[in-house]
Amino acid sequence: DAKTTQPPSMDCAEGRAANLPCNHSTISGNEYVYWYRQIHSQGPQYIIHGLKNNETNEMASLIITEDRKSSTLILPHATLRDTAVYYCIVRSHTGANSKLTFGKGITLSVRP
Amino acid sequence: KAGVTQTPRYLIKTRGQQVTLSCSPISGHRSVSWYQQTPGQGLQFLFEYFSETQRNKGNFPGRFSGRQFSNSRSEMNVSTLELGDSALYLCASRSTGIAEAFFGQGTRLTVV
């Protein structure tokens, strides 16, 4: 699986949009971009995933650049409960491998 | 629908002992994966089981083993515990054809 690079931390004000960047310059054509988050002492929570088109669900939006070398997770109206470590993961859907390779993630702190 | 259930939530063991952790996946999910999370190494993949067969294995010593039963419930075992095995052990389940993994709350193992 391709490697991802995320800044170690960022913060944003409550109610504002949080834009979390991720670089995955070695991504291959069949690899998807996934985002998970982990709130302190809990198991990781799936947020969203995409291949090349932008995706949106009730939690967030995922914007993938045209060359697919980077992406941005957008939390449109961050709340204090969104404070967590966010992991960007690249994974292929082919074959039987469902392993998720977690990096260090980005720690998002939402301030009141 | 019940989520992924891991038992016990907390465990304290002594060096040299062995431990068994249990994971009940979401109903209908046939794939169960295990991860170890430590402050130093982050989240690391241990192994994955699908239909009672180990399908993928991470880079951990043979002291770490697992199995899956016909009802998809899974157990992992760690023998001859070391202090470095102290970690949060997470289980994730996924359904065939659905990409995202759903994690349990984890079992916090402390080895003293």
The pLDDT tens digits of the residues spanning B84-96 come to 999 999 999 998 7
pLDDT at B100: 85
Mean pLDDT of B52-71: 95
Burial class (CB in 10 A: 0-12, 13-18, 19+), B33: buried
pLDDT at B99: 67
The Cα A44–Cα B100 span in angstroms is 11
DSSP label of A45: E
* Residues B46, B47, B51: CA angle, nearest 5 degrees: 160
- What pLDDT, in 10s, does the model give residues A18-74? 999 999 999 988 889 999 999 988 999 999 999 998 999 999 999 999 999 999 999
Chain B residues near any Cβ of chain A (below 8 Å): 4, 31, 33, 35, 42-45, 48, 50, 55-56, 58, 88, 90, 92, 94, 99-106
- Residue A80 phi, psi dihedral angles, 5° rounding: -60, -30
The Cα B37–Cα A43 span in angstroms is 10
The answer to whether A50 touches A33, Cβ cutoff 8 Å, is yes
CB contact under 8 A, A42 and B94: no
Mean pLDDT of A82-89: 97
Beta-carbon count within 10 A of A29 CB: 8
* AA letter at A39: I
CB contact under 8 A, A44 and B58: no
Given a cut of 60, whether residue B97 has pLDDT beyond it is no
Neighboring chain A residues of B106 at a CB cutoff of 8 Å: 41-43
**Min Cα separation A85/chain B (Å):** 11
